[in-house]
Chains A and B, each alone.
Chain A
Amino acid sequence: MEASEGKSKKPGASRLCCLCNQRRPVLKRPKTLQQICRECFYEVFEEEIHQVIVGNRLFKSGERVAIGASGGKDSTVLAYVLSELNRRHNYGLDLFLLSIDEGITGYRDDSLETVKRNEVQYGLPLQILSYKDLYGWTMDEIVKMIGLKNNCTFCGVFRRQALDRGAALLKVDKLVTGHNADDIAETVLLNILRGDIARLSRCTSITTGEDGPIPRCKPFKYTYEKEIVIYPSLLKLNFDTLTYDIRMLISRSWTTSPPNVSIYSPNAYRGFAREFIKDLERLRPRAILDIIKSGEDFRIATTTKMPEQGTCERCGYISSQKWCKACVLLEGLNRGLPKMGIGRARGGVNGDHKKETKKPPASAAKSLESKQCGSLDF
């Protein structure tokens, strides 16, 4: 308000909020293109998430719910909003933060600090589980053993299961993650590009793994990244947190000199999809929701043979093979044969010899590439 007089010559600055018609707008909502003020923004932002939670019956009263907390923007805002809504609407949830420490010196330190601060700020208990706790190895130890080249495979495969394993260890009823609308649109595109029908059909579900031990859900499924980023900025929440994310982007894991990150790496591939989504958003912000809608509406012909989803004989995690990827990699590490499970497995536990005749040669590489280094997994 105070600035509005002096700035009135800026186009648009003299208009009023579309919702309350009283205050100066501070934001153009990507979802609706409405110009809204700070107060109305908080209200609609939180209310929409509440409606998603209620409309999809994400939770039941009395449930113990772990919030997958990386210390980044999405999970930080999720923790904040969820604890607010839990109080405001009496969800009756027992919420706590669950963080995974890969055991990479200097990598998670800052973000874990943030999560620790969030613990104090929001009064949510925090559990940090390390790769050491979950797998018996830190990433630093793995890198020492296998070198700088293939460690992304380990980190990515281990990360995908880490939250689930951690949640099982802590006996939670549900796991929530901060995946937002942009993430989901990006994943829809990636799954189409990869021709991964199985993932395409489940990546838009707001809750996954309902038949498994611990369902996962994504309350931010319809929430734009722009609003998630702007939310704490306008609220002046503690947001040093954002720094670690881009550090990840710039120096993805241990590649010693960042410019050498290959454009063929799976991370770059995901990066291109993201950039494309952002370009689309600039032209027409609704595109993000439309892509999600397309993903939801995909129907797979009943005659299509889908890959069978079984469980790992060793750890019980979902796996299409006898052993899940993490168990294969772990077996390799523990037997001192770290190359086991990387690239085309030869004589591995899963008896690849008989599969290899059926699979096109690219599939072995594909299964690696689709396990990206980032924290996005569906």
Chain B
Amino acid sequence: MQLTLEFGGGLELLCDSEKIHKVNVDLPNGEDDLTMKHLLSWVRTNVIKERPEMFMKGDTVRPGVLVLVNDCDWELSGQLDTTIEDKDVIVFISTLHGG
């Protein structure tokens, strides 16, 4: 499954300062759908290079990290239960900073 991941608000610094990552994610074994829950742990393992605690807390994003799935707040699509489809664009923006 081809996905576009975008990191902003400084989160890109946790993944080689690349803001946009075009990635290929396989469905988890024995599952028909890819959920955000799975995608997050995949991102943590495969994309985040340092300080994963700035990105995640427990099995979800750290409070203060905003998630948009296809330009839509993930709080509307069920957060961790959001089903991800091929060619989806997922944006992570950290709000935890000055400004």
- The verdict on A243 contacting chain B, using a C-beta distance below 8 Å, is yes
Fill in one digit per residue for A1-15: 1 if any B CB lies within 8 Å of its CB, else 0: 001001101111100
Q: How far is the CA of A178 from the CA of B99 in the complex (A)?
A: 8
With CB as the reference atom, state the residue of chain B lying closest to A244: B10
Tell me whether A3 and B91 are in contact (CB under 8 A): no
| Whole-angstrom distance between the Cβ of A291 and the nearest chain B Cβ | 15
Tell me whether A246 and B66 are in contact (CB under 8 A): no
Tell me whether B71 and A375 are in contact (CB under 8 A): no
A25, A70, A242: the one contacting B93 at CB < 8 Å is: A242
Tell me whether A249 and B10 are in contact (CB under 8 A): yes
- The verdict on B24 contacting chain A, using a C-beta distance below 8 Å, is no
Q: How far is the CA of A374 from the CA of B54 in the complex (A)?
A: 18
Q: Across the interface, which residues of A come within 8 angstroms of B76, CB to CB?
A: 12-13, 25-28, 35
Those of B47-99 within 8 Å (CB) of chain A: 51, 54, 62-64, 66, 68-73, 75-78, 81-83, 85, 91, 93-99
- The verdict on A153 contacting chain B, using a C-beta distance below 8 Å, is no
What number of B residues sit within 8 Å (CB to CB) of A? Answer: 34
Q: Across the interface, which residues of B come within 8 angstroms of A70, CB to CB?
A: 98-99
Q: How far is the CA of A10 from the CA of B90 in the complex (A)?
A: 14
Interface 9-mer from A191-199, A206-214, A274-282: A274-282
Q: Across the interface, which residues of B come within 8 angstroms of A10, CB to CB?
A: 69, 77-78, 82-83
Q: How far is the CA of A27 from the CA of B83 in the complex (A)?
A: 17
Answer whether A12 and B77 are a contact pair too, CB < 8 Å, given A6-B85, A246-B13, A282-B63: yes
| Whole-angstrom distance between the Cβ of B91 and the nearest chain A Cβ | 7
Q: Across the interface, which residues of B come within 8 angstroms of A242, CB to CB?
A: 8-10, 93-94, 97, 99
Tell me whether B10 and A245 are in contact (CB under 8 A): yes
Q: Across the interface, which residues of A come within 8 angstroms of B98, CB to CB?
A: 70, 72, 245, 248-249, 374-376
Q: How far is the CA of A376 from the CA of B13 in the complex (A)?
A: 23
A12, A25, A281: the one contacting B78 at CB < 8 Å is: A12
Q: How far is the CA of A376 from the CA of B99 in the complex (A)?
A: 8
With CB as the reference atom, state the residue of chain A lying closest to B78: A11
A-B contact list, 22 entries, CB within 8 Å? A7-B77, A13-B72, A13-B77, A25-B76, A27-B72, A27-B73, A73-B99, A74-B99, A229-B66, A230-B68, A230-B73, A233-B68, A233-B71, A234-B71, A242-B8, A242-B10, A242-B97, A243-B10, A243-B13, A246-B9, A250-B13, A282-B63
- Hey, which bits of chain A sit against chain B, CB under 8 A? 3, 6-7, 9-13, 24-28, 35, 70, 72-75, 178, 182, 225-226, 229-230, 233-234, 239, 242-243, 245-250, 274-275, 278-279, 281-282, 374-376
- Hey, which bits of chain B sit against chain A, CB under 8 A? 8-13, 51, 54, 62-64, 66, 68-73, 75-78, 81-83, 85, 91, 93-99
Task: Contacts A12-B77, A13-B76 known; list 15 others, CB within 8 Å.
Answer: A11-B78, A13-B72, A24-B72, A27-B73, A178-B99, A233-B93, A242-B10, A242-B94, A245-B10, A245-B97, A246-B10, A250-B51, A275-B63, A278-B62, A278-B64
